[in-house]
Structure 1
Amino acid sequence: MSDTDSSCFARVRALARRVCGSRHLQRFAVPVLAASVCALLLLVFQHLSQTVNYRSVVSQLCHLSAREWIGALGATAASFVALVGRDAVGLRYVDARVPRLPLWVGATVGSALGNATGFGALTGGAVRCRVYGVAGVTPVQVGRMTVFTSITLALALAMMTAAGMVASAGTLAGMMGLAPDVLRLMGAMLLAASGALIAACGAAPKKLRLFGRDALSFNVPARRDLVAQLALAVVDVIAAGLALWALLPHKGTSVAAQVGFVQFVTVYAAAMLLGMIGHTPGGVGVFEAAMVYALGGTVPTPQMLAALLAYRAIYFGVPLALSAGVLAVFEGRALKAPLASGFAQRGAQSVSQLAPLFLAICTFVVGGMLVISGATPAFMKRIAILQTVLPLWVMESSQMLASLFGVLLLFVARGLLRRLDAAWWFALIIASLNLALSLAKGLAFVEAGVLCVLIALLLATRKRFNRHSSLFAERFTPGWLVSVGMVIALAVWVLFFAFRDVQYSQHLWWQFAFDERAPRALRATLAAGLLASALACWQLLRPAPGRFEKPEAADLLEAARIVRAQERSDAVLAMMGDKSFLFSESREAFLMYAKRGRTWAALHDPVGPRCEWPGLIRQFVALAHAHGGRAAFYQVRADALPLYLDAGLTLMKLGEEAHIALPEFELKGSHRAHLRYALKRGERDGFSIELIEPDRVPDCLPILREISDAWLESRVAREKSFSVAAFTAGYLAAQSVMLVRQQGKPLAFVTFMTTDLHTEATVGVMRHLPDASPYAMEYLFTQLALHLKGAGFRSLSLGVAPLSGMQPTPLASPWHRAAALAWRFGGWFYNFRGLRGFKNKFQPHWEPRYLAASGSVSVLLTLADLSLLAGGSRS
């Protein structure tokens, strides 16, 4: 990057430093909000369950008939068929086509994963990007499709609720506590608004612009796509509601006797809408509270709670388990190349890449199940059987150990998300041990079956966990720790709900007997809570180790050898000596990096053979995470982005780099008139060019330093580092210099970096005297391009134009939108357009450059650290 570019980036990063304080607060605001919602929901359930007995809920669950379970499963299947149809219409909306098998896999697996985690637009979108991407669907199209399906689902829920308000206002009035006329009016207004929205759509899709600005534009779907999507969403909701309806009592004084299916679906749609607004995983808690509140006067609360628990297991648990099975099948196909080729093989590999995400979610769910199971009483009939074959101490220790292992799984799940081999081994060992403990503590056959499924998935996906790093060195985010805390809080609530009739006293802790289930659950839950608290405190309080060390002379020589043997000239920045190196195992490739705060920043893509890149990237991410830091790859190229996505990093566009295609560069034509004028003006002003080869640079350093010092003094600046070429004797000695003289007096110079292949050159340090002619630099760059063309070079890089190419789009990230606004209106801050305009005089090809970094909100902190690195700060 040139010094002109660095000035702009310094200003941009200064802005990032000013806002990172508020962004840092957001890192904790979301987990605190989630914890508050969890606490509120637990209070609501505590109030709703005052008259409910735990045994009655369990009894209702046990008395659900096979017919009811099968009916709920059938309705769930119908709902997922409608989900596939919704994805098909969504793909048609974005003008994409996907073959039948990827469509079914992407829609069902993506929906199952999104339902389980509560971030359907994120995790479900990740699945669809993988699966649909094999058929050529871009992430942007998947994002547009996800927004379309999400908005239409919310609209369908609102329309169904409104229709129910109009058709059954009398029945719903008592359930919702509102007057019938008020309900009818509200429903009619919602239906009218929905009808107007449908009528506003045309026969073909169109782009709507507000105020004539692209930043406020969105695609309006065709009427047939909107109607089809709404119809399928209604079918989806009705089928999902039918899954719960099938589990409710339908005899005597029941929901069927007092509330018809139409009224029930209305309540169900409203509860789903509230769950979407609440943003809890699958609407859990919010949905249940709304259903119990609305139907509490019609259905006995124990029966309602039992039906809701069974509904969660069927509609959310079964699809997730089946999706995991699909993942295992695709994993097997991906590992056995002879069985598949071409499109099918690419699809299998793409889906199997999601193994870490699936396993992390499944492991966290299983860990939560073990912790909550330890807080519930075992069946007395099963305890009586165990009493005849096991000693008391085995049962007592089994329940406590199972809860402790459950807590460990909650933490190990994050290691699986990071693809750590240590996490895989821990998860496999813990799951295997718990398989025996689940039987010893109370013959928990369902729990044992779930553990068997987890073990099978771990074994099927072994090769996906190949990162060698310390599991306990991984720093946990506040959001993850809050999620663990929510599991513990739920377990405590379940404990007191299940043993509501127990008289608690200090003697309860020391009661050991086969039939003393309350003391056993109490001790297990306390132990789980203490272990989770200890691990969380250790994670929050431990320092972030790791210090930057300058490279040794031998490493510099090794890096120089690799740099000279490849064609990327910007890799010569490694020779500045201000960055450390991470070499591949073969020592044929390396990364150059530095550290500031918790940011471990690698400059550019790896240098060396491309086959070495994936391993180096994973190794560097593991190194940063092992020290509790954030990994960042600065100014990476577009063709390497899949490697960073596979490493679990977040991408952010920084700008575009200007490359002059030298074989095509010439001064003919009207579009080169300004360059011809700069040459003529330079000749008239007495300019002359002197090329200084690397062996002559040490002798010319005093002249160059005089120009450089004057340039720095005029800008009240100091030498930069890291991503910015700096004026140092050792670095300049490895480059060629082009010097401009005016009437024999040194006026300006530019260094250019090259390798032994002589195919690409990159502008390095460029300086000029403060009173130099405004045409001096344009004259210098034109002469440099002509010289390199004559020497047989193919390309000359003029450096990055910050924020260039950041066009606003409807689905752009907040950073992208802010950058686009800065590009458009930030002239007072820096002349973004002027910098691109100067480089455009040479008619370059513009190539995007990105930042790939750990985290999401923390990316702004990474930008602030990068600005300090460029200023020379290390830690």
Structure 2
Amino acid sequence: MKTAFKKITPFISIVFFVLAIWFLDQELRQYNLGQIIEQLSEIPNSYIALSVFFSFLSYVILTGYDGLGVRYIGEDLSTGRIVRAGFIGYAFSHNIGMALVTGGSIRYRIYSSWGFSGIKVTQIVGFSALTLWLGFCTVAGLSLVFATPELPENVAIPFDSLRIVGLLLLVMVAGYLVASTLLKEELTIKNWSFSFPDLSLALKQVVLASIDWIIAAMVLYVLLPETEINFYSFIGVFLLAQIIGLFSQVPGGLGVFESVMLLYLSNFMQGPAILGTLLVYRIIYYILPLLVAVVVLAYQEYLTNKRKVRVISQKAVNWIPRVVPHVLSVSVFIGGSILLFSGSMPSEVPRMEWLQVILPLPVIEMSHFFASLVGVGLMVLARSLQRRIEGAYHFTVGLLIFGIIFTLMRGADYEEASILAFMLLVLVPCRGEFHRKTSVMTKGFSPGWVMMISLVFISAIWLGIFSYRNVAYQEDLWWQFTLLGDAPRYLRAMVGVLSFTLIISLMKLLKPKKKLVREPKEYELEKAKDILKQEPRAKPNIVQLGDKELMFSTDNNGFIMYAPESRSMVAMGDPVGPESEVEDLIWNFQDYCEEQDLWPVFYQVREDYLEWYVDLGLTLMKIGEEARVSLTDFEIEENGRRYGDLYDHHKKYRGSDYSFRVIPPEETRAHMANFHAISNRWIEAKGADELGFSQGIFNEEYLSNFPIAAIFKDGEAVAFSNIWEGANYYELSFDLLRNNPETPDEIIDYLLIEMILWGKAEGYEWFSLGMAPLSGMKDHQHSKRWSKVADWVYTYGENFYNFREVRTYREKFNPEWEPRYLAVPGGWALPGVLKDITNLISGGIKGFL
């Protein structure tokens, strides 16, 4: 299955993490937690200040990766925007890791809000990743060749010397530079295409990323006590630890990075000093930038909510709503983790003695227990915050308040309380970003979230075991209640935490799964028809074809129509129904696809709800524009020259033997034999097959639902089209548009103009001529496949003219053009998704892929 590896990867990460924790435990078995904490205070403030400076410099350079990426795709973007997107994106991904940001990254949400297509954002992110690896190969290669580090004797490698590895890395970089000089053509490997940058840009990649890796290593190096560690050897091991941590898929390489560094640094330093230094490094390079990103987002959100600056600031920060829930989700998760970690560590004796004066022991015991449960609650709610659920926001605010109270009452831990208070202050101004009414229990945990929660639990359990390894275990330890009884409190809290988590997990696991229904039942189609009575758009009438499955909103006021195709679940258009139902329908569809192990895809969506598709982590591809004629402005009889030959054709046939008539639904069956004959001859002349999904097929049951516009000659129809009607006289459109091949092509012009005039006379506002492809849709690496299918669909499926002439023809009607998009998973899934979509909308055509 396509997601088999994706599902198992988080559990592989857990295995890596457990092995790393086991190694750390073995290496530190002769030490205790107090010794490590003591080392923290021995790091000079000047070292910390220098480390913070290098951390700041590293993140500034990281944003340069995006600058090079923007230049690579030929776009122009201000430095300020590049810095914002890069800094917030890297602050987020460094802490979460690749497992949860693949496809729908923070940077994608920011760049897309500035008008970048999904493919262009993917190119920027991919180019930035390539830049990172070029820097790694360069610095690691130079380090291994000229300052080969001495590894411990218990570490075996399959080479006589690490210099061989270094030379291989440098050869790869040199090969890239040579290719950038010589290869000017696009390189295609299977479904992926890549164009090498020019040599100047390639050199900038190598130089910038090399400097960044060196600066990133300096963040840790300057924290080390004065030893005989050579920086040139150190950086090689640092890079190795970073890459092993990256491949482990553990967020931030937590534990894995520390294990590798401990293995190397143990030749020069004592274990407590190493671990204390690594802890400070984690705070400076990972946690501190994330907190700064959260503050920036909260402040910008505050500005946009102030009336005086709303108009001024809205345009500049319209990317804020797209990233706030995701960054706050991470922050709240970290806050919950801090509560669990602090609950596993010994309390400070002076604080406990002071606390005993004002609080009775039972209150202190209960506060410790409930503080840990609050930590679990925050981690669980973090997922629902990411999904913008209103209930999760209110629960989180409440738990943060309780967390602050319990943290102070369990041990006067004002440090943890300050962090939670800070998160609360950041969360409160962002109330408007959490508006979904869905229950927080409706969605289970994804494998990635299971992994993150598991890693926190494993860390908390190990931290307690490490902290109290000198306490002899006895059965009555569970029932000891004393002021300094930290070990018993830890045991009781862990049992409570695991029990609470088990209950939540069972509630989510026992939630019944929706079953896949292959065909919509009659009563479901009737419900859909009732909803259409309030739907102003005409296109959703395609649901009456009955070839798609339906997902209804909780209140049955809206629906999504969709069809499975291979590994994809393709929704036809936006959700249908009131705007209040749309967002939940989109999220429910994504959840359903996840349960069915399929990719969620939305075909031909409008601009109205793009931000919600982005929230799902989907990539947006502009596939065309819909031509819509304003009927109040359509004046072909009064201003014929404006419409060119359309006016001539209409005038020619209107006074001839041809006549136009709209047949009401109840009378259409009497003409079906005539229409069927026209349809068969049209299909035979075109050499095409019926399509379905995005447009109708000739089916009497389907066509009898609509009025049919027809051109008659000598009492017999020679051309026809069924009419889609939107509610409240808002919009008209057509579906099947077919004529007898023996009639002139101009008869189609006559039919369309008469339909438009009929709609205008009936009081409709708009007439949709359907979607036309754009040259802009070819700005991505899969355009060849898509263009072939589009050519076929528009030539034979959507009526009459060649692909390249569709837009030109519709321009004759002087329409207004509205963009239409394809919302699909990005990354490695994209080629397979495009193949599924093209197969579905083209009726399973062969030979085009």
d(CA) in 1 for partners of 2:150, 2:705: 86
d(CA) in 2 for partners of 1:400, 1:86: 46
Shift of 1:289: 1.8
d(CA) in 1 for partners of 2:326, 2:775: 34
d(CA) in 1 for partners of 2:530, 2:743: 36
Q: Pick from 68, 71, 76: which aligns with 2:47?
A: 68
Is 1:115 matched up with 2:80? Answer: no
d(CA) in 2 for partners of 1:231, 1:348: 32
Q: Pick from 606, 611, 617: which aligns with 2:582?
A: 617
Cα gap change, 1:750 to 1:865, in 2 (>3 Å): same
Is 1:267 matched up with 2:240? Answer: no
Cα gap change, 1:728 to 1:418, in 2 (>3 Å): farther
Length-normalised TM-score, structure 1: 0.77
Report Cα offsets for 1:194-226 as digits up to 9, x if no partner: 234334434xx9853237x99553232233333
- Tell me which residue corresponds to 2:333: 364
Q: Pick from 507, 529, 539: which aligns with 2:498?
A: 529
Cα gap change, 1:558 to 1:116, in 2 (>3 Å): closer
- Tell me which residue corresponds to 1:208: 185
- Tell me which residue corresponds to 2:669: 701
Shift of 1:653: 5.7
CA contact (8 A) 2:143 2:232 kept: yes
Report Cα offsets for 1:609-633 as digits up to 9, x if no partner: xxx74x4422534676899998978
Q: Pick from 260, 265, 285: which aligns with 1:315?
A: 285
CA contact (8 A) 1:724 1:870 kept: no
Shift of 1:315: 0.9
Instruction: Write out aligned runs for 1:270-289 (5 A).
Output: 270-289=240-259
- Tell me which residue corresponds to 1:650: 618
CA contact (8 A) 1:110 1:123 kept: no
CA contact (8 A) 1:555 1:581 kept: no
Which has the higher mean CA deviation after the structures are superposed, 330-339 or 730-739?
730-739
d(CA) in 2 for partners of 1:209, 1:633: 28
CA contact (8 A) 1:655 1:804 kept: no
CA contact (8 A) 1:271 1:287 kept: yes
- Tell me which residue corresponds to 2:85: 106
Shift of 1:48: 3.5
- Tell me which residue corresponds to 1:735: 707
Length-normalised TM-score, structure 2: 0.79
Query: Alignment partner of 2:491: what SS?
Result: helix
Q: Pick from 723, 728, 741: which aligns with 1:752?
A: 723
What letter is aligned with 1:79? Answer: S
What letter is aligned with 1:280? Answer: V
CA contact (8 A) 2:708 2:723 kept: yes
Which has the higher mean CA deviation after the structures are superposed, 117-126 or 217-226?
117-126
Query: Alignment partner of 2:7: what SS?
Result: helix
What letter is aligned with 1:224? Answer: S
Shift of 1:147: 1.8
**Number of matched pairs:** 798
Is 1:91 matched up with 2:70? Answer: yes
d(CA) in 2 for partners of 1:325, 1:855: 29
CA contact (8 A) 1:356 1:419 kept: yes
- Tell me which residue corresponds to 1:480: 449
- Tell me which residue corresponds to 2:369: 400
CA contact (8 A) 1:748 1:767 kept: yes
d(CA) in 2 for partners of 1:486, 1:692: 70
Instruction: Write out aligned runs for 1:124-135 (5 A).
Output: 126-131=105-110
Query: Alignment partner of 1:297: what SS?
Result: coil
Shift of 1:865: 13
Q: Pick from 108, 117, 142: which aligns with 1:163?
A: 142
Is 1:640 matched up with 2:611? Answer: no
Shift of 1:395: 2.2
Cα gap change, 1:444 to 1:779, in 2 (>3 Å): same
Instruction: Write out aligned runs for 1:11-90 (5 A).
Output: 22-23=1-2, 25-26=4-5, 28-90=7-69
Instruction: Write out aligned runs for 1:284-303 (5 A).
Output: 284-303=254-273
d(CA) in 1 for partners of 2:88, 2:549: 43
CA contact (8 A) 2:794 2:806 kept: no
Query: Alignment partner of 1:158: what SS?
Result: helix
Report Cα offsets for 1:372-394 as digits up to 9, x if no partner: 22222223333333333332222
CA contact (8 A) 1:157 1:273 kept: no
Shift of 1:427: 0.6
CA contact (8 A) 1:502 1:518 kept: yes
Instruction: Write out aligned runs for 1:374-453 (5 A).
Output: 374-453=343-422
Shift of 1:542: 1.3
Query: Alignment partner of 2:232: what SS?
Result: helix
d(CA) in 2 for partners of 1:78, 1:68: 15
- Tell me which residue corresponds to 2:533: 560
Shift of 1:182: 2.0
What letter is aligned with 1:263? Answer: S
d(CA) in 2 for partners of 1:804, 1:161: 43
CA contact (8 A) 1:481 1:536 kept: no
- Tell me which residue corresponds to 1:764: 735
What letter is aligned with 1:389? Answer: I
Query: Alignment partner of 1:23: what SS?
Result: coil
CA contact (8 A) 2:691 2:842 kept: no
Query: Alignment partner of 1:378: what SS?
Result: coil
CA contact (8 A) 1:632 1:862 kept: no
CA contact (8 A) 1:596 1:869 kept: no
Shift of 1:362: 0.6
d(CA) in 1 for partners of 2:790, 2:759: 39
d(CA) in 2 for partners of 1:158, 1:434: 45
Shift of 1:60: 1.6
Cα RMSD of the aligned pairs, angstroms, is 5.1
Cα gap change, 1:34 to 1:719, in 2 (>3 Å): same
Query: Alignment partner of 1:762: what SS?
Result: strand
Shift of 1:433: 0.6
Query: Alignment partner of 1:515: what SS?
Result: coil
CA contact (8 A) 1:591 1:603 kept: no
CA contact (8 A) 2:626 2:819 kept: no
d(CA) in 2 for partners of 1:122, 1:53: 36
CA contact (8 A) 2:351 2:412 kept: yes
What letter is aligned with 1:513? Answer: T
- Tell me which residue corresponds to 2:342: 373
Cα gap change, 1:796 to 1:740, in 2 (>3 Å): farther
d(CA) in 2 for partners of 1:584, 1:260: 64
Q: Pick from 223, 229, 234: which aligns with 1:247?
A: 223
Which has the higher mean CA deviation after the structures are superposed, 848-857 or 370-379?
848-857
What letter is aligned with 2:76? Answer: R
- 5+ residue gaps, structure 2, are 637-641, 761-765, 811-817, 844-849
d(CA) in 1 for partners of 2:725, 2:340: 60
- Tell me which residue corresponds to 1:325: 295
Query: Alignment partner of 1:348: what SS?
Result: coil
CA contact (8 A) 2:563 2:571 kept: no
CA contact (8 A) 1:576 1:730 kept: yes
Shift of 1:726: 7.5
d(CA) in 2 for partners of 1:47, 1:853: 46
d(CA) in 1 for partners of 2:551, 2:33: 60
Query: Alignment partner of 2:195: what SS?
Result: strand
Which has the higher mean CA deviation after the structures are superposed, 748-757 or 288-297?
748-757
CA contact (8 A) 2:105 2:617 kept: no
Is 1:844 matched up with 2:806? Answer: yes
Report Cα offsets for 1:617-675 as digits up to 9, x if no partner: 2253467689999897853334335343365362566966886989888779xxx9xx9
CA contact (8 A) 1:374 1:521 kept: yes
d(CA) in 2 for partners of 1:151, 1:627: 34
Q: Pick from 147, 170, 189: which aligns with 1:191?
A: 170
Report Cα offsets for 1:303-351 as digits up to 9, x if no partner: 1111111110111111111111111110111112423645x43122322
Shift of 1:354: 1.7
Query: Alignment partner of 1:220: what SS?
Result: coil
Which structure would you say has the larger RCO, counting Cα contacts within 8 Å and 6 or more residues apart?
1
- Tell me which residue corresponds to 1:813: none
Report Cα offsets for 1:487-531 as digits up to 9, x if no partner: 222222222222222322433222222222212111111211121
What letter is aligned with 2:710? Answer: M
d(CA) in 2 for partners of 1:227, 1:527: 56
d(CA) in 1 for partners of 2:824, 2:199: 40
Shift of 1:703: 4.0
